[in-house]
Amino acid sequence: MGGIFRLNDEMRQQGVPPNWMPYVESDDVDATADRAASLGGTVVVAPADIPGTGRFAVLQDPQGATFGVYKSNTASGAWDGTPVVGRVSWHELMTTDHVEAFQFYHELFGWEKTGEMDMGGGNMYSLFGHDAPFGGMFNRLPEMEGMHPFWLLYINVKDVAKAVATATAAGAVVVRPQMDIPGGSIAILADPQGAGIAVHHVSAPVPAAAPAKQTVAKPTKKSAANKAAGPAKKPVKAAAKKAVKKAAKKAARKAARKAVKKAVKKAVKKAVKKAVKKAPKKAVRKAAKKPVKKAAKRARPARKAKGRPGVARKAKRKTTARRPTRAPAGRSSRKKSSARPRRTARAKGKR
C-alpha cells in the first residue's frame, strides 16, 4: 500500500520537504521513464529494483510536480477508482498549467478527461481517470503563488470530522478546515513533520472491503434471521393489535354516548317546541269557540207560544212556571170562549 522513510542529507540539501508521493503502476518502469523524459519531464531517480518487492523510478512532470512509477513483483494492488475506507482514494495535482499537465499525463499513462468543474473566478478543476475518475487537476490560486506544484493525496475515511479530531490530537495541523464538496466532504491537514495530507468521505457509506457474496432466500421459505425474529415480533404485534382494538372500542363507546345525548337533547327540544307551539293554538281555539257558542245560543230561535205573538215569551215563562193540568172550573181558554158565541149566533139565525 505504501511506505515511509527518512529524508537523507542530499534530499534536504535539494530542498525536498517532507511529503507524500504518489506512485503510478507501470508495466515497464524503464520505458515509462524514457517516455516521460521525451515529453518534457525529468527523471529524478533512475529506474531501480527494490529487492524482493519490485522496480521503481521517480519522475517530474514539465511543471515540476514529483511522482513515482512502480511495478510490483507480485499481483497488482493498484487502485481502480473505487473509494475504499483507509486507502488513498483521490489524487489531486496543483500546478501552474493544468491543461499542459493533463496532456503530459494523458500521453504517458493514457488518462482521459472525465469532467470539469468551475471553482469560481474562471478557475477550472479538471477530472481525470479511465472508467472512473482518479483525481483532479487545477491551477494554483493567487494565495498559493509561492507553492511548488505538487500532488496531494486524499485518504478515504468514514467521517472527516472525526478523522480531523483524531489527527489534531496526535499533533497534526489543519491547513484547510472541513468543507463540503460535490459528492462528499474534505479537509486538508499537515502531519507533525509538515507533510501535507487530506481526508475525505463520500456521501454514501463506503465499505471497508468488498462485500461477501450473499445468497437470496426463496420467497416460499423463511430465512433463519426471519425465524429468529418471529417470536420477538409476535408479542409486539399482539400488543399493538390489542391496543388498537381497545382504542377502537373506547372510541365507539364515546361516539355512542355522544349520539344518545344528542338524540335526547334533540327530542326534548322538539317536544318543547311542539308544546309551546300547540299551547297558544289550543288557547286560541278555546277562546274562539266560546264566543261562537255564545253567539249561536243567542241566535237560536225561541219556541212559538200558543196565542198572541206579542206574549210568546211571557206565555212561555208562565207555562214553564205553572202549568195546570186542566182548566179551572167555570173558566176556559180564550179560544173556546170566542168559539161559542159564533155557534150561538148561527143558532139564532136559524130560528
* Domain CATH for 40: 3.10.180.10
**Number of folded domains in the chain?**
1
CA distance 2 to 24: 12
The answer to whether position 216 is within a domain reads no
218 occurs within a structural domain: no
Residue 272 included in any domain: no
pLDDT at 219 over 70: no
User: Between residues 219 and 104, which one has the greater pLDDT?
Assistant: 104
Given pLDDT bands bounded at 50, 70 and 90, which one contains residue 159? very high
Residue 86 is part of which domain span?
9-156
In a domain, 31, yes or no: yes
Give yes or no for residue 238 having a pLDDT over 70.
no
Full-model pTM: 0.57
Residue 87 maps to a domain? yes
105 within domain boundaries: yes
* Per-position DSSP letters for 264-313, written without gaps between them: HHHHHHHHHHHHHHHHHHHHHHHHHHHHHHHHHHHHSPPPPPSS-GGGHH
- Sequence-distant (≥ 6) Cβ neighbours of residue 323 within 8 angstroms: none
Q: Output the pLDDT for position 268.
A: 47
Would 211 be classed as within a structural domain? no
Query: What is the band of 320 on the pLDDT scale with cuts at 50, 70, 90?
Result: very low
Is position 328 within any domain?
A: no
- pLDDT at residue 100 in the model: 97
| Confidence at 314, pLDDT banded by 50, 70, 90 | very low
* pLDDT in the model for residue 256: 53
Contact 86, 208 (CB under 8 A): yes
Which residues, in sequence order, are CB contacts of 167 under 8 Å at separation 6+?
A: 189, 191, 199
Poorest-pLDDT segment among 16-25, 214-223, 237-246 = 214-223
Q: In what order do the strands lie in the sheet with 23-25?
A: 23-25, 66-72, 54-60, 42-50
Q: What is the mean pLDDT of residues 286-298?
A: 54
Q: Tens of pLDDT along 258-290?
A: 654 565 456 546 654 555 455 555 554 555 455
- Identify whether the C-beta of residue 313 lies closer than 8 Å to the C-beta of residue 321: no
- Are 125 and 106 in contact by the 8 Å Cβ rule? The answer is no
